[in-house]
Homo-oligomer: A and B are copies of this chain.
Amino acid sequence: MNMWSGVIGEYLDFMPVEDRTEIVTLQEGGTPLIPAPSLAQKLGIEAELYLKYEGANPTGSFKDRGMTLAVTKALGEGSEAIICASTGNTSAAAAAYGARAGLKTVVVVPEGNIALGKMAQALNHGAEVIPVQDNFDAALRIVRKICESYPVTLVNSLNPYRIEGQKSAALEVCDQLGEAPEILAIPVGNAGNITAYWQGFCEYRKARKINSCPEMWGFEASGAAAITRDKVIENPETVASAIRIGDPVSWDKAASAAEESGGIIEEVKDEELLFAYSSLADCAGVFAEPASAASLAGVKKMSDRKSLSADDLVVAVLTGHGLKDPDSALDVISEPEAVPARIEDVLDRAGLA
C-alpha cells in the first residue's frame, strides 16, 4: 500500500527542495482522474474523456499544489509571514498552509468587493484579512511593496514556486494514464495553471517518463478573453469568478504553451460553461465550480471544429470544488414544491409510479 504523501514528497526529483527541508503539506494532490464516457457521449465528444478533479484537494482547489511549495520555501527562508491579494481560492490555500506552518497569513482585498462566503475559509484559518479603500490593483501593489522591505513572502501567482508545485498535476495525469494524453484542456484565468501543466509535461518528457506531450487547449470565458482576443479586458465579466481576469499575469507563457504544443487558446460563452457545469454534475457525478467547466465546455466546442479520434485521450482539468461557489450552485436550481406525505404522491413526483 503506497499512501500519498503530498505533491512535494511524491515528486521530490522534480521539486526545487533540499533533502532536509521541512515540508509543509496537507497531503494535497493525488486527485481523482475520472473516466467520463457517458458525459462524452452526451456532449458529442468522440474521444476517451477523463476529468482531473482538483476539487478533491484539501482546501477544495488546485491552488494547494502551488501553496505547499510556496509556504515550504517561505518557512525555510525564515519568513515571518506570507501575504497575498486575493478574494478567492488563493487566499483559502494561503491561509490553510500558513496556519499549518505556524506563519501569520495576511490577505489584502479591495473594500466592498468581498463576499464573506468567499472569504470564509481564509478567515476560519485565522488569516488577517484586510480590506483596503481602493481597487484590486492597489491591493496587489501594497502587498508587493511590503515584501520588498519586510521578512514577508508574497504567495500571489507572482511567486515562482507556485508554478513549480502546480506542475505536479501534469505528472499525476501521466502516471494515472500510464502515458501522456493527446489533449489537455484547462480553464485559463491568470494563466498560471496552463503554464504549470506545460512545464510539467515538458520536464516529464525530458526525464523520459513520457514519449510525447499533449496539445494544450486553454479556455477563457468570453467576457474575460484577453489572450484569445489579444487585448486587455478592462472590465471582465463572467459567471466564472475564478477566471474573471482581464489581464493575465502569465499571458505570454500561456500563449507559448499553446503554440509550442500545437494547441489553442479559445473562449467559451457563459451559457456553454453553465451547460457543461450542469452536465458534469448530473451526468458524471462531479460537482465543480463554474470556472472549472470552461475546460469541458471548450472540449465540446472544439470537438466540432478539430478532428478528434475515438481513441484520443482527452483530459479536462476541473480546477475547484462546486462547494466553493454555493451561489452559482443555487442559481441553477429551483426550490422543489412539497407533496402530501403519501407513497403514491411521492412515486408520482419521482416518476416511478
Contacts and interface: CB of A to CB of B under 8 A. Distances in A.
Interface of A: 1-4, 10, 26-27, 30, 32-34, 38, 53, 55-60, 80-81, 83, 96-102, 104, 106, 108, 111-112, 116-117, 120-121, 123-126, 128-134, 138-139, 142, 145-146, 150, 152, 172, 175-176, 278, 281-287, 321-324, 326, 329-330, 332-333, 335-343, 345-347, 349-352
A290 B350 CA distance: 33
Contacts of A102: 38
Given A58-B53, A125-B285, A333 B130 contact: no
A1 B333 CA distance: 40
Contacts of A121: 287, 322-323, 329
B38 A32 contact: no
A129 B336 contact: yes
A65 to B, nearest CB: 14
Contact of A287 (B96, B146, B150, B335): B96
A227 to B, nearest CB: 29
Contacts of A330: 116-117, 120
B58 A116 contact: no
Q: Which 6 A-B residue pairings sit nearest by Cβ, starting from the closest?
A: A100-B285, A126-B282, A27-B32, A134-B341, A2-B2, A1-B175
B336 A131 contact: yes
Nearest to A112: B338
